[in-house]
Structure 1
Amino acid sequence: MTPREVSADLSAERLRAWWAHRQGLDGALAGGSAERVLVRAGWARSVGGSGPYLGLFARAGLDREAVDAAVARLDVHELPSARGCTYVLPRADFALGLTVGAGAPAGELAAAEKHLGVTDAEIAALSAAVVEALAGSERPLDPAAIRAAVGDAARSLGDAGKKRGLSTTLPLALGLLQARGLIRRVPVNGRLDQQRYAYVRWEPAPLGTTVLTDQQARQDLARRYFDWAAPASLAHFRWLSGFTAASARAAVEPIGLLPVAGTDLLMPPGLADAFTGYRRPAEPAYALLAGIDGLHLLHRDLSRLIDPADAGRPVPGAKAGRVLGGETDSPCHLVVDRGRIVGFWEYDTEQQEIVRQLFVPQDAALKHAIARTEAFVRDQLGDARGFSLDSPKSRAPKIAAMRAG
């Protein structure tokens, strides 16, 4: 070992427990605010499902009303950010998220210019019309209302546009204005798990007068990422960020990450002593999470959370031959214990209950965790959709397979 290496027990059980600890799944964040959880555990992926609610409930015990209130206060907000994907971010990271996500709408505009005859000038004029319409409105405007307000400034892109998933020029302007922090998207009913949105002016604009360069933003994201997810590899960081190999290496270089001996994993110097001295708790710490929870998705390396004895378990409701160990992402919501996946679960809206397939005996603590989450979903969410197109009908085969054992 050299002085610049981190040496520690790297057993799978200990690593999983450490990642769960850094994610606040051991009770460390109980009672914390939504903002505090997202600063510590990382941005919560949002795809029109219940993932953000489930993650905040599992870590801090936050009910839906508390999370919705945090959204309304702009303590946290759903924004297009890393890779252009939507995440729920804490206030301190709004500018960073917008900056690292700005390439996606810019790329969409470039493609529309190349293939659909769109021009910078018309999108600039449309953007100005959108801002003017929102400034003159006393309420948020949905896309249909914005289209009516801007009139001919937005135009149809015809059949060619429809083939590319872009029927008018309006989404291009909305995407660019969001990335610049001039407007923001708000859920029409205040909820994060339903994809119906309207738009308002964002005042004061989160980017303000401070402009992050691309390199500064990449470095800031790298610092946050390795605080949330270490030990992690450069490949793990590239998955989250979407950066090229060269950009990722340049982003992490100023941090002075330490190699974890014998692996490709990296650790911030400030966490090295805590990691080396960490001891896996003897008692279970169960949590019911969405399949896209950050415990998995920050690395997108599902196998690290799977015990070898469980790798051959069949995927519920899938074609014969699909097994858990062969999956890139979780096929169901997850039951975890100190970072290890110990079961699947889904919510049955007809019976208003959680249906599960457990890999371990159900002791009193696990029974309590399931009952607590079931009450939360039933009484506050109404359902636990994994993503926007998830439905009771689409998940019925999984539920039937779990019931059949």
Structure 2
Amino acid sequence: MANAPLAHPEIPTAKLRAWWAHRQWLDGARAGATAQQVLAATGWARSVGGAGPYLGLFARAGLAREAVDAAIASLQVHELPSARGCTYVLPAGDFALGLAVGAGTPEGELAAAAKHLGVTRDEVEKLALAITHALTPDTPLEPLAIRQVVGDAVRGLGEAGRKRGQSTTLPLALGLMQARGQIRRVPVNGRLDQQRYGYVSWDQPVAGTAADLARRYFSWAGPASLKHFRWFSGFTAATARTAAAESGLIPLPGTELLMLPELAEEFADFTTPAEPQYTLLAGIDGIHLLHRDLPRLIDPADAERSVPASRAGHSFGSEADPQTHIVLDRGRIVGFWEYDTEQREIVHQLFVPPDAALREAVARTEAFVRDQLGDARRFSLDSPKSRAPKIAALRAAGA
């Protein structure tokens, strides 16, 4: 994404960053909010089998892991395929919209399977019907159990399918059924950071427009550009422009950034907090991933920093996404961190001298990870072993 100037000369970059952090509830003012309230106000939390959603909800509202798991179990929030077909944790009020904006992905996968693997829509629809008869609302079945129940309705796709990451027709049917709100995926142990799932039947309406998503997005992420919105939504340029126009967005003077008109006065009156507001977040937290424009959160001097355990000459400012978890202060990234499971502690590299507030933020998050999560994986395949070089690099940098 092009690194256009963030702000008009009269709008300091520090104000924009602090505003984004404020709108993301990273200013410490929302303790006690529910998971549903946090996600409705600050945006859908990207979930990739790691600790990101837990870390984000803890940072914003102090939510314990058990409270988040209870919200999932009671369907106040849920992990669903949504924008770009990616999985996010959504509040209940956005289930219908999330499914609607993600519906194109499983259709595209079916079209590709038809073209390259000889799969027909008819066989996938028949498999979906068999799955419907196999599932109940209350007892999750894992994919192997579903396959055993539906028998020959599932077809193997041979070596050609394996090469395309599609060994059978079962994922195609499950993807279509999820997008239609007919089934939902349930974590076997109730946790978002350990990827074993079963499926239950569901009856969830699917509804919403591109303009509906635009209004939500710009309430979470604005000011933001059309490029930012296109990244998040996966919409074409024409669809994004139309959705933005229907949402009544107004430009931020001197920039390509847009915002909702009802927020313009609040933004004009907003002042950058004088005192630091430290938070420890996942690298895929919404403060970054809603825009996916990393340089906007990095001071120029920090852009040249080496990425922990990366190849020589690889700088932080050249990354599309952080390669570690991040420490944030009023919208500026001020450090890297990871969790060392052997020592049961956070290891970090800070860009600013640590004061009492920063030490407290680290200690608070460390206790949360140690006592409630056990680890802070970045994604499903992350492991203490794979993370060891980064931890060693962080220790060396912080020594």
The TM-score bracket by the shorter chain reads over 0.9
Q: Does 1:231 align with 2:223?
A: yes
The equivalent of 2:17 in structure 1 is 16
Give me the whole-angstrom Cα distance separating, in 2, the residues matched to 1:392 and 1:21: 33
Quote the offset at 1:99 in angstroms: 0.4
Question: 1:254-403 alignment to 2 at 5 Å?
Answer: 254-403=246-395
**Deviation sequence 1:68-104 (CA, Å, 0-9, x none):** 0000000000000000000000000000000000000
Q: Distance in 1 between matches of 2:209 and 2:189?
A: 32
- TM-aligned CA deviation for residue 28 of structure 1: 2.8
Pairs within 5 Å for 1:144-163: 144-163=144-163
> Which whole-Å CA distance do the structure 1 matches of 2:135 and 2:9 have between them?
55
Q: CA deviation at 1:29?
A: 2.0
- Measured in 2, the distance between the counterparts of 1:7 and 1:268 equals 18
Cα distance in 2 for residues equivalent to 1:200 and 1:289? 32
Superposed displacement of residue 62, structure 1 = 0.2
Spell out, residue by residue over 1:115-163, the C-alpha distance to the aligned partner (whole angstroms, 9 max, x if none). 111111111110000010003x862100000000001111111111111
- What is the CA–CA distance in structure 2 between the aligned matches of 1:246 and 1:362, rounded to whole Å? 47
* Structure 1: unaligned runs, 5 residues or longer: 1-5
SS at match of 1:393: helix
For 1:187 and 1:300, the matched residues in 2 are separated by: 28
Give the root-mean-square deviation of aligned CA atoms.
Answer: 1.2
Residue in 2 aligned with 1:206?
Answer: 204
Amino acid at match of 2:169: T
Q: Is the 8 A contact 1:8 1:276 kept in 2?
A: no
Q: Any conservation in 2 of the 1:7–1:276 contact (CA below 8 Å)?
A: no
Q: Kindly provide the amino acid, as one letter, of the partner of residue 168 in structure 2.
A: T
Which runs of structure 1 show a deviation greater than 3 angstroms over 4 or more consecutive aligned residues? 6-9
CA gap of 1:8–1:78, structure 2 versus 1, over 3 A, is: farther
CA distance in 2, matches of 1:129, 1:404: 56
Identity of aligned residues (%): 71
Equivalent residue runs for 1:41-120 within 5 Å: 41-120=42-121
Q: Given that residues 9 and 276 in structure 1 are in contact (C-alpha distance below 8 angstroms), is that contact kept between their aligned partners in structure 2?
A: no
> Counterpart amino acid of 1:314?
S
1:7 deviation in Å? 8.1
Give the CA deviation at 1:227: 0.3
What secondary structure does 1:351 align onto?
coil
Give 1:366's aligned amino acid.
L
1:184 aligns with 2:184: yes
Distance 1:105 1:232, change over 3 A: same
Alignment partner, residue 220 of structure 1:
212
Distance 1:360 1:167 in 2: 49
In structure 1, the partner of 2:3 is none
Question: What does the per-residue CA deviation read over 1:179-235, in whole Å, with 9 as the maximum and x for residues that have no partner?
Answer: 000000000000000111000011xx221xxx63xxx52110000000000000000
For residue 282 of structure 1, report the CA deviation from its aligned partner. 0.5
How far apart are 1:334 and its partner, in Å?
A: 0.3
CA distance in 2 between counterparts of 1:105 and 1:255 reads 27
Q: Counterpart of 2:4?
A: none
Structure 2: distance between partners of 1:255 and 1:243: 15
* C-alpha separation in 2, matches of 1:69 and 1:332: 28
Give the conservation status (yes or no) of the 8 Å contact 2:8–2:255.
no
Question: 2:171 maps to which residue?
Answer: 171
Other structure's SS at 2:352 match: coil
TM-score (structure 2 length as normaliser)? 0.96
Structure-2 residue corresponding to 1:3: none
Q: Which runs of 5+ in 2 are unaligned?
A: 1-6
Normalising by the residue count of structure 1, what TM-score does the alignment of the two structures yield?
0.95
Q: Distance in 2 between matches of 1:404 and 1:173?
A: 49
Could you tell me which amino acid in structure 2 is paired with residue 383 of structure 1? Answer: D
Q: Distance in 2 between matches of 1:51 and 1:10?
A: 31
Residue 309 (structure 1) shift: 1.7
Structure 1 CA distance, aligned partners of 2:133 and 2:100?
A: 24
Please give the alpha-carbon distance, in whole angstroms, between the structure 2 residues aligned to 1:300 and 1:142.
34
SS at structure 2 position matched to 1:394: helix
Partner amino acid for 2:204?
Answer: P
Describe the shift of the 1:8–1:72 C-alpha distance in structure 2 as closer, same or farther (beyond 3 A): farther
- What amino acid does structure 1 have at the position aligned with 2:163? K
Corresponding residue of 2:26: 25
Question: What displacement does 1:8 show?
Answer: 8.9
What does 1:125-144 align with in structure 2 at a 5 Å threshold?
125-135=126-136, 139-144=139-144
